[in-house]
A and B are shown apart, each in its own frame.
Chain A
Amino acid sequence: MSETNYLELRKITKVYPNGVIANEDVNMVLQRGEIHALMGENGAGKTTLMKILFGIEQPTSGEIYLEGQKIEIHNPLDAISKKIGMVHQHFMMDENLTVTENVILGMEPTKGLSLDTKKAREMTMEIAKKYNFKITPDKRVMDLSVGQKQKVEILKALIRGAQLLILDEPTAVLTPQETEELFEQLKILRDEGHTIIFISHKLNEVKHICSRATVLRGGKSVGSHDLKDISLAELSKLMVGRDVVREIEKQKAKPGDAVLEVKNLKVLNDELVQVVNDVSFKLRKGEILGIVGVEGNGQRQLIDCVTGLESEYQGEILIDGKVCAHSNGVKQRRDAGLNHIPEDRLTYGVIANATLLENLISNTYDKKENNKGIFMDDKKNSDRVTDLISRFQIKTDSKHTLVRMLSGGNMQKVVAAREMSTDMSILVADQPTRGIDVGTESFIHDRLVEMRDKGVAVLLVSADINEVMELSDSLIVFYEGEITAYFPDASKVTEEELGLYMLGLKKMKDEEIAEVAK
């Protein structure tokens, strides 16, 4: 290119306060109007690099050039004034405020001394319309689906005039439809001259939407590539440093007796709407049962009841034929052999302000074999944690590091390691590989299949429909709080067919659905 580069990062190095070198002499060049992928394994330093660009972290050394000018970005306000916007891996919004309030936060139009609500709403609608975003300006953010939340985050950046948009794993939480929608919007933005940095672990998405990619490995940049010239296999080899096999190998399931039984489950939400409506099914030993459905059709509430997090429900949940308690029911279910990888890793999956060790022993600390009389067996706990860290390839400098200092994918590995490593009869795996890189993803998939083969019953939920279809032995579809389809053999279903059920365009006969409760 003859013209000057839009943005250039030169020899960026970042050493965190605890001594971790997250970036080392990283170079990255962006042209105006491109969608540029930033790729790398979990903990490679992608988020760190972007935080530096957005002024959240300060580089230890290195330079940033914007349109040929050397700039310094001391804080996010600086970044915004230079027309840089960022949507974080873990959203940063006030969940109690409405969409409008979040979008205009910090730049509120005023009338005299008070907020001009009408104007604020107009501004929000205007920008949403300009970029063809469908949003509900008066809804509280906590009532939105993740996909909608993400749109709000993007709007927040756009309304502040962002020309460069950093999206840190935007699709990790999206369903395929939502991803498709997002891509359409990104293309519009690109065509308008916006530049976008796109972080994702999903190679085909990257290939689909991006023109060039910069790859990080172990904190160093290993080059930028035109995506036209490089195959997916080559790309993943660049990231990991070895060939990655992504095929899930599995034999046909040999399901045994039912271990989990859900009988006539009904749940009302806070607005007294019936979100789960008379759902019954059985989960059998040695089987992976996948739940698919567009988000917000009651799957969340179902999982919360099954795992005991939600106590307000009607109907019965049985493990090994024994009815589970409604309130304070988590312990009982865990003791009965139910493990749970929760969807929201920051709220339920980890304690960010505790060490890896403290996080990794929370489901075993009270077991007899891990205690000596009244004392915890520190050595045993510590050995176990060391083993988990190496087996699940959690990238950390020590087991005494706080979990909040881990990269997003590594936090997820902490959750997976803990919940997949004890004896259990049921595993509820809700988005088990969210934000995890390709290498570790296949490791976790293999483990899931292996556990199934050992007789564990797995209830799988994932926004990634390909993941559910590939892993599951049988499938149920959720639509408006009901099971609308049951496929005893998941390999016989096509994505199109599932789509029809997911959107409520088709529904099986009651007898067919009732099979799942037999």
Chain B
Amino acid sequence: MTTKKVTEHSQDELRSQIMRIEFFFEFLRTVLSIVIALGIVLVIVAFITDDPLKAIQTLLMGPLKSVRVFGNVIELAIPLTFCGLAITVIFSSNRFNMAADGAFFVGGLAGACAALAVPDAPFMVKLFVGLSAGFGTGMIIGLIPALLNRFFGAWELITSLMMNYAYGFFVRYVLNRVIRNKDSISIESHPFNVDMGKLFTGTRIHYGLIIVLVLAVLVYVFMYKTRWGYALRVTGKSEKYATYSGIKTGIVILGAQVMGAAIAGLGGAVEMFGLYQTFRWTASQGYGFDGIIISTLARNNPLFVPISAFFLSYLRIGADVLNRSSDIPAELMSAIQAVIILLIAAKAFLSGYKQKAIVKQSQKFAAQGGEAE
């Protein structure tokens, strides 16, 4: 009996050592991917400018140049986190519904319209009505491809992408024909007078940051700590198994798409009240697609989504600064992003070394009698 206990105990120990090795390599790989990607950038930049080191420095340190610019990083990370969370929820049902992009876009419009509809209401009421409108609109936008799939077998990926296209026309129509301020020279709505206020003076960081961080925790708790989250994860991993277990997969899949798109819709409304006085989007911001990158980088863990959103945002702003201070096109950033993401996502990178480290550990352990009977 006692010997068995010992074996179990040492098994745990081996396991935790192996987990440490795995963590170490994960970390190493992320850092190395970034370094390698930057190396590649350095080479490319060297061809374009005379002073590549300066360019790299601007790219990396640019966002830290001033409080205002760093504020931009956080400010951009907010909508990216919303969309990253949306995609994480939707994709965990194993359905590739791209409604998040449309939901964010139309969610912003819905928020603005709702606020405009109750011009004389108190601030809190307006805010609540506006955010609810964004959330609700997101739900509907997520629901459409889901239902089309349920009843006609249409592939969510296709229908949602097509719908996103249609939303572009819809939003421009509403902006031009319904809510446009005729007295303004630019294309914008009347002011809706909902300003969430800034968190820090000297920046444009707004209270949306708090909302989205709380939301990330909520999504995590939902997915990993509640039975509904469990049902969702099981369904996403194997629909057949879920059916066999008695999970009502139809509802679960529908629910995930609706909730995910609702998060994006809410994000659109938050963005509207955090950064704008009037509605003026004539095209989608494309954050919904960034959400896919973010969710992948975060390994579909809601708690990592804000971090990877911050990372992506930092790169973007750095590129922006570089673009303004030199002759390097911002498009270059897309290429760099691609390289970094590829390297991080590529599981095989460094896996040989990882394997060797684990093998060594495991054999050393066995030799010490960890396996003794």
* Cβ–Cβ contact B247 & A331, under 8 A: yes
List residues of chain B with CB within 8 A of the CB of A334. Answer: 245-246
Q: Mark A373-409, 1 if CB is under 8 A from B, else 0.
A: 0111010000000000000000001100000000000
A contact set with B: CB distance below 8 Å: 15, 17-21, 24, 60, 307, 309, 328, 330-331, 333-335, 340, 342, 347-351, 353-354, 358, 361-363, 365-366, 371, 374-376, 378, 397-398
Q: How far is the CB of A385 from chain B (nearest CB, A)?
A: 13
Q: Is the CB of B225 within 8 A of A351?
A: no
Interfacial residues of chain B within 8-39, with CB under 8 A of chain A in the complex: 11-12, 14-15, 18
* A342 surroundings in chain B (CB, below 8 A): 244
User: Could you tell me the distance between the alpha carbons of A328 and B241 in the complex, rounded to whole angstroms?
Assistant: 14
Q: Are A15 and B359 in contact (CB under 8 A)?
A: yes
The minimal Cβ–Cβ distance linking A398 to chain B, given in whole angstroms, is 5
16 A-B pairs with CB atoms under 8 Å apart are A18-B18, A18-B358, A19-B18, A21-B366, A307-B244, A309-B243, A309-B244, A331-B247, A333-B246, A353-B237, A362-B245, A363-B246, A365-B227, A375-B226, A376-B230, A398-B11
A330 and B361 contact, CB distance less than 8 A: no
> Once the chains are docked, how many angstroms separate the CA of A76 from the CA of B18?
29
| Contacting residues, chain B, for A19 (C-beta < 8 A) | 14-15, 18, 358-359, 361-362
B240 interfacial by beta-carbon distance below 8 Å = yes
**Complex Cα distance A330/B244, Å?**
7
Q: Give complex CA distance A307, B11 in Å.
A: 39
Measured between alpha carbons, how far is A330 from B241 in the docked complex, in Å? 11
Q: With the chains together, A350 CA to B238 CA distance in Å? A: 9
* B234 interface residue (CB < 8 Å to A): yes
Within 8 Å by CB of A21, from B237, B248, B362, lies B362
A330 contacts which chain B residues (CB < 8 A)? 243-246
Q: Which residues of A contact B238 (CB under 8 A)?
A: 351, 353-354
* A328 to B234 alpha-carbon distance, docked (Å): 17
Partner pick for B234 among A333, A347, A351, A378, CB 8 A cutoff: A351
Q: Which residue of A lies closest to B226 (CB)?
A: A374
| Residues of A close to B57: CB separation below 8 A | none
Q: Is B363 an interface residue when CB atoms closer than 8 A count as contact?
A: yes
**A21 with B246: in contact, given A351-B238, A362-B234, A365-B230 (CB under 8 Å)?**
no
Judging by beta carbons under 8 Å apart, are B244 and A358 in contact?
no
For the complex, what is the distance from the CA of A510 to the CA of B257, rounded to whole Å?
53
Contacts of A335 in B (CB 8 A): 246
In whole Å, how far is B327's beta carbon from the nearest beta carbon of chain A? Answer: 47
B355 within 8 A of A: yes
Assess whether B227 is in contact with A362, with CB atoms less than 8 Å apart.
no
Main SS of chain B's interface residues?
helix
Which residues of B lie under 8 Å from residue A353 when comparing CB positions?
237-238
List chain A residues, Cβ under 8 A from B354: 17
What's the Cα separation between A491 and B246 when bound, in Å? 36
A16→B38 CA distance, assembly (Å): 34
**List of A residues within 8 angstroms of B245 by Cβ:** 330, 334, 362-363
Residues of A within 8 A of B243 (CB): 309, 330
Q: Whole-angstrom distance from the CB of B283 to the nearest CB of chain A?
A: 39
Residue B180 at the chain A interface, CB threshold 8 Å: no
A328:B248 contact, CB within 8 angstroms: yes
Known A19-B14, A340-B244, A358-B233: A60·B227 in contact at CB below 8 Å: no
**Quick one: given A330-B243, A330-B244, A363-B246, are A351 and B237 in contact (CB under 8 Å)?**
yes
Q: How far is the CA of A15 from the CA of B362 in the complex (A)?
A: 8
Q: Given B221, B241, B250, B371, which contacts A362 in the complex, CB threshold below 8 Å?
A: B241
> Taking A376-B226, A376-B230 as contacts, is the C-beta distance between A348 and B244 under 8 angstroms?
yes
Q: A340 vs B244: C-alpha distance in the bound complex, in angstroms?
A: 9
Contacting pair B241 A17 (CB below 8 A): no
* Residue of B233, B250, B359 with most chain A CB atoms under a 10 A cut-off: B359
Nearest chain B residue, comparing its CB with the CB of A20: B362
Distance from A406 Cβ to chain B, minimum over Cβ atoms (Å) = 15
A330-B246, A397-B15 are known; give 8 further A-B pairs, CB within 8 A. Answer: A17-B358, A19-B14, A351-B241, A353-B237, A361-B230, A363-B245, A365-B230, A397-B11
Closest to A400 in B: B15
* Contact across chains for B371 and A376 when beta carbons are under 8 A apart: no
Contact A366 B366 (CB under 8 A): no
Q: Could you tell me the distance in whole angstroms from the C-beta of B348 to the nearest C-beta in chain A?
A: 12
Give CA–CA (A60, B356) in the complex, Å. Answer: 9
- A19 and chain B: residue at smallest CB distance: B362
How far apart sit A348 and B355, CA to CA, in the bound complex (Å)?
31
Q: B240, B246, B355, B363: which contacts A331 (Cβ < 8 A)?
A: B246
> CB-CB < 8 A to B11: which residues of A?
397-398
Question: Would you call B358 and A354 a contact (CB within 8 A)?
Answer: no
Complex alpha-carbon distance, A20 and B18, angstroms: 10
Q: Is the CB of B15 within 8 A of A398?
A: yes
- On chain B, the residues within 8 Å of A60 by CB distance are 359
Please report which residues of chain B, range 243-270, place their CB below 8 angstroms from some CB of chain A when the two chains form the complex.
243-248, 250
Known: A19-B14, A330-B245, A348-B241. A358 touches B234 (CB 8 A): yes
Q: Measured between C-beta atoms, what is the minimum distance from B90 to chain A in Å?
A: 19
Q: B241 to A350, Cβ gap below 8 A?
A: yes
Which residue in chain B gives the minimum CB-CB distance to A359? B241
Instruction: For the complex, give the distance between the alpha carbons of A333 and B11 in Å.
Output: 39
**B227 near A348: Cβ-Cβ < 8 Å:** no
User: Complex: how many Å from CA A274 to CA B250?
Assistant: 29
Q: Please encode chain B, from 208 to 239, with 1 for each CB lying within 8 Å of some chain A CB and 0 for all others.
A: 00000000000001000111001101100110
Task: Given A347-B240, A363-B246, answer yes or no on A21-B226 (Cβ-Cβ < 8 Å).
Answer: no
**Residue on B nearest A375 in the bound complex, by CB:** B225
| Residue numbers in B under 8 Å from A375 (CB-CB) | 221, 225-226
Residue of B nearest to A328 (CB): B248
Shortest distance from the beta carbon of B347 to any chain A beta carbon, whole Å? 11
By beta carbon, the residue of chain B nearest A354 is B237
Residue numbers in A under 8 Å from B361 (CB-CB): 19
With a cutoff of 8 Å between Cβ atoms, the chain B residues found around residue A20 in the complex are: 362
List 7 tightest A-B contacts by C-beta distance, closest first.
A331-B246, A19-B362, A330-B246, A15-B359, A362-B245, A348-B244, A334-B246
Residues of A near B15 (CB, < 8 A) are 19, 397-398
Would you give the shortest CB distance from A415 to chain B, in whole angstroms? 10
Q: Given the complex of chains A and B, what is the CA–CA distance between A350 and B18 in angstroms?
A: 25
CA A17 to CA B348, docked complex, whole Å: 12
Q: How far is the CA of A20 from the CA of B11 in the complex (A)?
A: 10
How many Å from the CB of A346 to the closest CB on chain B?
10
The residue in chain B whose Cβ has the minimal distance to the Cβ of A362 is B245
Complex Cα distance, B146 from A274, in Å, reads 34
CA distance A217 to B234 in the complex (A): 34
Decide if A21 touches B371 in the complex (CB within 8 Å).
Answer: yes
How distant is the Cα of A20 from the Cα of B359 in the complex, in angstroms? 9
A15-B362, A354-B234, A397-B11 known; A366-B244 Cβ under 8 A: no
| Among candidates A331, A361, A378, residue contacting B248 with C-beta atoms closer than 8 Å | A331
**C-alpha gap A335/B248 in the complex (Å):** 13
**Chain B residues whose C-beta falls within 8 Å of the C-beta of A348 in the assembled complex:** 240-241, 244
Q: Which residue of chain A has the shortest Cβ distance to B230 in the bound complex?
A: A365
- Which residues of chain B have C-beta atoms less than 8 A from A371's C-beta? 227
A417 to chain B, nearest CB (A): 15
Contact, CB under 8 Å: B358 / A15? yes
* Nearest chain B CB to A32 CB, angstrom units: 34
Residues of A with C-beta under 8 A to B244: 307, 309, 330, 340, 342, 348-349
Contacts of A366 in B (CB 8 A): 227, 231
Residues of B within 8 A of A350 (CB): 241
Roughly how many angstroms separate A218 CA and B247 CA in the complex, as a whole number?
38
Most chain A C-beta atoms within 10 Å of own C-beta, residue among B230, B246, B248, B355: B246
Contacts of A349 in B (CB 8 A): 241, 244
A351 to B226, CA, bound (A): 19
The interface residues of chain A lying within 8 Å CB-to-CB of B248 are 328, 331
How far, in angstroms, from A51 to B37 measured CA to CA in the complex?
37
B225 with A376: CB separation less than 8 A:
yes
Complex: chain A residue closest to B366, CB-CB = A21
